[in-house]
């Protein structure tokens, strides 16, 4: 097995390596319909210089060399605040029943055989764990995400998860910002907050008050509405006002919480991260987002994981839009749904001045969708994997249609992919000193497929292509 620990000098160098490509490129201008804060520019130009956005303007206001015509709607990259990246190598799990809460399905033999045991077998091997994370991050990128949480955590306080570098922003591990450092981010992502030690809980609470922790994303209240065990988790979080319900915290799921709970969350400036597809597939119902919105809670959206949720942010947005259209009246506008995948999660992750919007000085995290119709919000809510023209992270093109990728990265080795019948190209930037990042996506997929097949399962699909993929 390869050495888990990169030399300290190499790790210091790696902290800036992701942005290195973008910083050596000449400024470039992209022309399309820009979905900027508070406005849509139907014929706009976005200028990228280094790893940041230098200008956002109407096409007529741009001077200099002609911009690249993209034929696209241009959005901020989507921000996924609820995922379990290494689990997304596993195929969909369709249990034969609905459950009352998450503790119930986690105790079933069906879950153990289909998901838990294969996942443990993969992630207990360091090289395969890196493969799983990189596959999951590529999957997130194909689904429109530029930032994620829930990636590969280190073991024993080491930096043996350095193989995550070079793809998406891992907001809870290494966000790839100018001041980021591996495993020293101020965003905490906690799946089981009630299993935290008293020391860790106190550290989180005091960290939120002092600024040492800028965002705490916690799973709680996950179960069928009315389920007592899930509902009582609100009181467990609150602890009479001296618990974890405070500014900087966002609750993931909260399906068992009620209107009074959301009013209290809003008063405490606690956010909500909504995952409708996984909620409905496991519990037959989802969060009362209408009451949460009415109370003034900031709401973001995330896919949870692909075994019971969506394969990525775009698919979860489509699911949410379908659910929303069935409500009378609809809870959200199309623009609000798009904001729940861009500006709002950026705010909940304490990065609202860095990502989540097309604005000068923000990091150049972009999602380009093939232009269809005139409404950019509806276009994103209805888009499929084939419609992705380009994904750029920190000024670096990482994935998209072959023509754009070839034009933007003419000197780089790009990997060919066919996604839903459309030729795409992927740029996996190798990281010096980390052998796990030298692999092609084809090699990563092959190794994972071989490992999973020995456990009676198979590698998940990269993107949902079949028509009618929503239940």
pLDDT tens across 364-400, in order? 999 999 999 999 999 999 999 999 999 999 999 999 9
Q: How far apart are CA 320 and CA 276, in angstroms?
A: 7
CA atoms within 13 A on the CB side of 247: 7
Examine the pLDDT at 70 and tell me if it is beyond 70: yes
What integer is the mean pLDDT of 303-323?
98
* DSSP letters for 6-44: --HHHHHHHTTHHHHHHHHSPPEEEEEEEEETTEEEEEE
CB contact set of 345 (below 8 Å; sequence gap of 6+): 79, 80, 81, 147, 273, 300, 301, 302, 356
Specify the 3-state DSSP secondary structure of 394: coil
pLDDT at residue 16, rounded to an integer:
38
Domains detected in the chain: 79-348 (3.20.20.140)
pLDDT tens across 111-126, in order? 999 999 999 999 999 9
Q: How far apart are CA 355 and CA 377, in angstroms?
A: 19
pLDDT tens across 32-56, in order? 999 988 899 999 999 999 999 999 9
CB contact set of 237 (below 8 Å; sequence gap of 6+): 193, 218, 220, 243, 244, 245, 251
Question: Could you tell me what percent of the chain has a pLDDT over 90?
Answer: 87
Treating both helix axes as pointing N-terminal to C-terminal, what angle do 441-453 and 126-142 enclose, rounded to 10 degrees? 120
Examine the pLDDT at 13 and tell me if it is beyond 90: no
Specify the 3-state DSSP secondary structure of 367: strand
pLDDT at residue 25, rounded to an integer:
65
Q: How far apart are CA 383 and CA 371, in angstroms?
A: 10
**What would you measure as the largest C-alpha separation in the chain, in angstroms?**
64
């Amino acid at each position: 097995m390869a050495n888990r620990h990169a030399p300290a000098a190499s790790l210091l160098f790696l902290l800036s390596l992701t942005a290195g490509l973008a910083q050596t490129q000449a400024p470039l201008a992209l022309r399309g319909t820009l979905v900027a804060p508070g406005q849509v520019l139907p014929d706009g130009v976005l200028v990228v210089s280094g790893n940041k956005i230098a200008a956002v303007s109407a096409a007529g206001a741009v001077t200099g060399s002609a911009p690249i015509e993209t034929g696209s709607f241009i959005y901020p990259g989507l921000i996924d605040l609820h995922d379990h990246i290494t689990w997304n190598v596993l195929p969909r799990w369709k249990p034969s029943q609905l459950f009352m809460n998450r503790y119930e399905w986690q105790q079933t033999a069906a879950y153990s055989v289909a998901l838990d045991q294969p996942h443990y077998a993969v992630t207990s091997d360091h090289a395969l764990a890196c493969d799983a994370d990189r596959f999951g991050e590529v999957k997130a990128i194909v689904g429109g995400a530029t930032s994620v949480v829930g990636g590969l955590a280190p073991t024993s306080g080491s930096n043996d998860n350095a193989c995550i570098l070079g793809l998406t922003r891992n907001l809870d591990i290494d966000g790839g910002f100018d001041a980021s450092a591996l495993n020293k981010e101020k965003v905490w992502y906690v799946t089981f907050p009630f299993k935290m030690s008293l020391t860790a809980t106190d550290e989180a609470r005091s960290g939120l008050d002092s600024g040492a922790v800028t965002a705490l994303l916690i799973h709680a209240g996950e179960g069928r509405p009315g389920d007592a065990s899930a509902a009582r988790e609100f009181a467990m979080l609150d602890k009479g006002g001296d618990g974890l319900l405070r500014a900087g915290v966002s609750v993931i799921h909260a399906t068992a919480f009620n209107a009074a709970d959301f009013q209290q969350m809003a008063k405490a400036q606690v956010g909500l991260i909504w995952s409708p597809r996984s909620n409905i597939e496991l519990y037959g119902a989802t969060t009362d987002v209408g009451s949460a919105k009415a109370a003034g809670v900031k709401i973001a959206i995330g896919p949870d994981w692909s075994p019971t949720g969506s394969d990525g942010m775009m698919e979860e947005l489509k699911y949410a839009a379908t659910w929303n259209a069935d409500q009378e009246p609809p809870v959200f506008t199309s623009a609000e749904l798009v904001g729940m995948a861009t500006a709002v999660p950026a705010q909940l992750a304490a990065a609202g001045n860095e990502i989540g919007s097309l604005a000068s000085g923000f990091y150049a995290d972009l999602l380009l969708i093939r232009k269809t119709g005139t409404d950019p919000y509806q276009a994103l809510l209805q888009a499929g994997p084939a419609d992705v023209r380009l994904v750029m992270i920190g000024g670096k093109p990482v994935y998209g249609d072959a023509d754009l990728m070839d034009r933007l990265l003419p000197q780089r080795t790009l990997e060919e992919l066919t996604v839903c019948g459309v030729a795409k190209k992927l740029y996996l930037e190798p990281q010096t000193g980390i052998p796990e990042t030298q692999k092609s996506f084809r090699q990563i997929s092959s190794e994972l497929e071989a490992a999973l097949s020995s456990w009676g399962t198979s590698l998940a699909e990269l993107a949902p292509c079949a028509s009618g993929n929503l239940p």
